[in-house]
Structure 1
């Protein structure tokens, strides 16, 4: 009686084979004909599905393919949206370039940048400030504190081409007056004589991981236009 109970208990336990998942995987990769030889067994393999209960291997493969197709469609849709947005930015940059050519003052340049880029980039503010006393060609919205602006640029940029992130209340007031800004992008233009600031109401809009390809192009374009303007003014 004792022997029979032991036998029944052993039969109820799953067969313990001294192979781990990696060994099984390595064996199947080394023997691709395994499933062809075991086609009858393969047809009866069942998997547990959280929603559908027990399903066959074929059903599991179809589910996997559907999941992959869904992911691919989502990726394609996302890429198409990015491509469409980049096309809009490219067209706007072309429009900006044409609009900047006849500008006769830095104030005109600032206005064109604001008009064309603010809505496109979803920004709350774009401002441009001098870092030296070139009062004959800077916007005169309010008295310019060159020392404070220069100190801000040195502190935030620290010999880097861009700064992305949040600003304290003093810096925001200096750059954007009372305009709502939660994150900002800063860059210098034309031999570091002008500070250009972009502001967003989204605290995560400008962050250190931001792609700078388009900003590089904008920086080169504005610097070239500002240089031409200065050369025309001073002969």
Structure 2
């Protein structure tokens, strides 16, 4: 030990198992070190437990919001009512800063008064920007391409630092839903999409039965 005074620094896990009689000369420093190691381990476990509890609370809150959205969708009778309910719950309950929906439609007839900004017309360049998303049927997160931002958030392009884009697909492609944030860490490419994919299926089911 004299030739390796840093032994316990390099093998601190042994201190948890080491048994040192209190009466042994020089044992005090080892006992203190053991207590210190165990205290550090206890703090780590407490932090891990707090993280788990926080995640559980967050998941419970998400489940509550999803349940509310499900109930709201039950009382809708049209595509407009579906999207109004989605906009309201995502903004007020989920705290999403920017929400945009684009419904897929055939090219409008000449002179049609439809608001073209709310639609993705089949075979258009705008539609092609999301064709792979609709084929893969899986939400994507991160910083969208500029062309996608201009289609989804034409008036907030400079504010969107991250976004989640969800495919809305029933028996066929129905549209896309985008959730935008000014926080670049809100929607990261590396994050899981289990919740977003469930949200996508829920809204898709509501749309499909009303189109």
Which category of TM-score, normalised to the shorter sequence, fits these structures? 0.7 to 0.9
Q: Does 1:187 align with 2:169?
A: no
User: 1:176 and 1:197 mapped to 2: Cα distance?
Assistant: 9
**Contact map agreement 2:137 2:167 (CA 8 A) in 1:** no
Q: 1:200 is matched with which residue: 181, 187, 197?
A: 181
Shift of 1:16: 6.7
Q: Does 1:211 align with 2:186?
A: no
SS at match of 1:211: coil
Higher relative contact order, structure no. (Cα contacts within 8 Å, ≥ 6 residues apart): 2
User: 1:80 and 1:224 mapped to 2: Cα distance?
Assistant: 32
**Contact map agreement 1:129 1:194 (CA 8 A) in 2:** yes
1:185 to 1:150, Cα distance in 2 relative to 1, 3 A? same
Q: Quote the RMSD (CA, aligned, Å).
A: 3.1
SS at match of 1:197: strand
Q: 2:87 is matched with which residue: 114, 134, 139?
A: 114
Q: Does 1:174 align with 2:155?
A: no
1:15 to 1:129, Cα distance in 2 relative to 1, 3 A? closer
The alignment's TM-score, normalised by the length of structure 2, stands at: 0.75
Residue matched to 1:93: 66
**Contact map agreement 2:101 2:118 (CA 8 A) in 1:** no
Shift of 1:105: 2.1
Q: 1:142 is matched with which residue: 102, 112, 117?
A: 117
Task: Summarize deviations over 1:121-180 as a string: whole Å, max 9, x none.
Answer: 442211111233287xxx847364521331110256663512211123332121012133
Residue matched to 2:40: 67
Residue matched to 2:128: 151
1:165 to 1:16, Cα distance in 2 relative to 1, 3 A? closer
Show structure 1 runs of 5+ residues with no match: 1-13, 46-54, 231-235
SS at match of 2:208: helix
1:60 to 1:15, Cα distance in 2 relative to 1, 3 A? closer
Show structure 2 runs of 5+ residues with no match: 109-113
User: How many corresponding residue pairs?
Assistant: 191
1:95 to 1:143, Cα distance in 2 relative to 1, 3 A? closer
Shift of 1:75: 1.6
**Contact map agreement 2:72 2:85 (CA 8 A) in 1:** yes
- Which structure shows the higher helix fraction? 1
